[in-house]
Amino acid sequence: MGMGRNLSRRKTVLKCRRRERRKRGRIIPLETLMLKRITLTIFLFALIQTVFAQTSAGGNLPAGFKLPIQDIGGPLLHSIPIPDDPMIQHYINEYSRESGQKTMSAILQRGAPYLGFIYNSLLEAGMPAELMYLPAVESGFRAWALSRSGASGFWQFMMNSISPYDIVVNEWQDDRRDFWKATGAALSKLRFNYERTGSWPLAVAAYNCGLGRVERAVAAAGTTDYIELFNQGYIPRETRNYVPKFFAFAHIAGYAAIHEVSSAAVFNTASAQNSAGWEQIELNQAVNLVILASKAGIPVPLLHEANAELRHGITPPAVNGYFLKVPSGYSDNVRKVLENTEEPLMRFYIHEIQGGDTLYALSRHFGVSVSMIEMYNPAVDARALRSGQKIIIPALKETGPFRSDYNAPERWNFSLAYTIKAGDSLWSISRAFNTSVEEIAFNNGMRTDETLKVGLIIQVPREN
């Protein structure tokens, strides 16, 4: 009996000790843990939606409040409330397939050098971070992307939409491919869309199909629900797919590890906020990107893509002014190279004018435009080239010296008078007399684009 009582007492003591150890070791049942996590997620989700609704409406964050970092772990938080749209889930499923994962990984890897810049630009503008993935849907982060309708660059600007922004398009550059300028312009456009519509889904829709069309749709339908706008036929099918595709891409990219997107492509917001990023360096000379990259130790493809707006891989003449974009890690090297005036960063051909030479013929041979030659030779008059005169021509390609096949005494004798008639042009006259527009203009002291007046007498060649 005594032994039995002692054994029973020992068992009771052991149970109490186990209970105390479980409390000290925080051994909590799995069901309880899951319930607490779900409750916390719901609370945080509601909190973030409230905060962003407040800031989007122009309010301020509570004192000491910091936005949670969207990354590969933690609760699924979004700064733009995701619409209740089955099409979004459709595209999430598409991107979650093996082929979709490969596509997303490739896009994110192409965008990796620029996502930090776009992300920080959005933070400075007080705009939702998810918008940094809009170029993924627009262009797949291809710097030289050109759509069938003529839209160009990461953000796919059309020529008719660049006028409000600092975007230059000329024979030297197409700033629609300038990731720095185009990002600033795109964010301004998106912000304006949001201010007019009061809805980020509609702001994104307007970026695709135009703000005017969205505003007319809202006015006609009496609703700001883009799904309903489409169902009533006010929003085009392309935009109906565009908006859900963006939300699906942003959701998966924000939590790439969960969706098994390549870890190499995962964007880390914490590192982006602290990354060195990019710098702009103002140039006071023309620069060939290949020469500069080799001297500064920058990979040539990286420098070319960062300055994809340059049509020929050379910067405009210094009189135009140009800001070169370089990764911050290479900026000191670039500045040292630029400060060394003994190191040429541009190659030119030097050509001595011979009888019969024209800027047009030289431009065809050296692969440059006439205006480009004129820009580097401001003292040269194309209508009055002199034999022995020396000009410089940008070396955009490897080619041999120019040799004119023009020999006036042997081929042409511009001694025949011709009176201009209605409908005449230099082109039609050159065809009639088996010569060229440039030759007629050269021998008559005219411009190649000069308007001909009826009754004007010019000299044309008389064949020997």
**46 close to 39: Cβ distance less than 8 angstroms:** no
Reduced to 3 DSSP states, what percent helix, strand and coil does the chain have, rounded to the nearest 5? Answer: 50, 10, 40
**Sequence-separated (6 or more) residues with CB below 8 Å from residue 273:** 119, 120, 123
**295 close to 337: Cβ distance less than 8 angstroms:** yes
Between CA 314 and CA 263 the distance in angstroms is: 36
Angle at 80 between CA 75 and CA 86, to 5 degrees: 85
**346 close to 285: Cβ distance less than 8 angstroms:** yes
Neighbouring CB atoms inside 10 A of 16's CB total 10
Between CA 416 and CA 146 the distance in angstroms is: 49
* Amino acid, res. 193: N
Catalytic site positions = 138
Between CA 247 and CA 10 the distance in angstroms is: 62
Nearest to 204 by CA among 235, 162, 168, 161: 235
Nearest to 424 by CA among 446, 394, 402, 405: 446
| Alpha helices for 255-299 (secondary structure H) | 269-274, 289-296
Between CA 101 and CA 256 the distance in angstroms is: 9
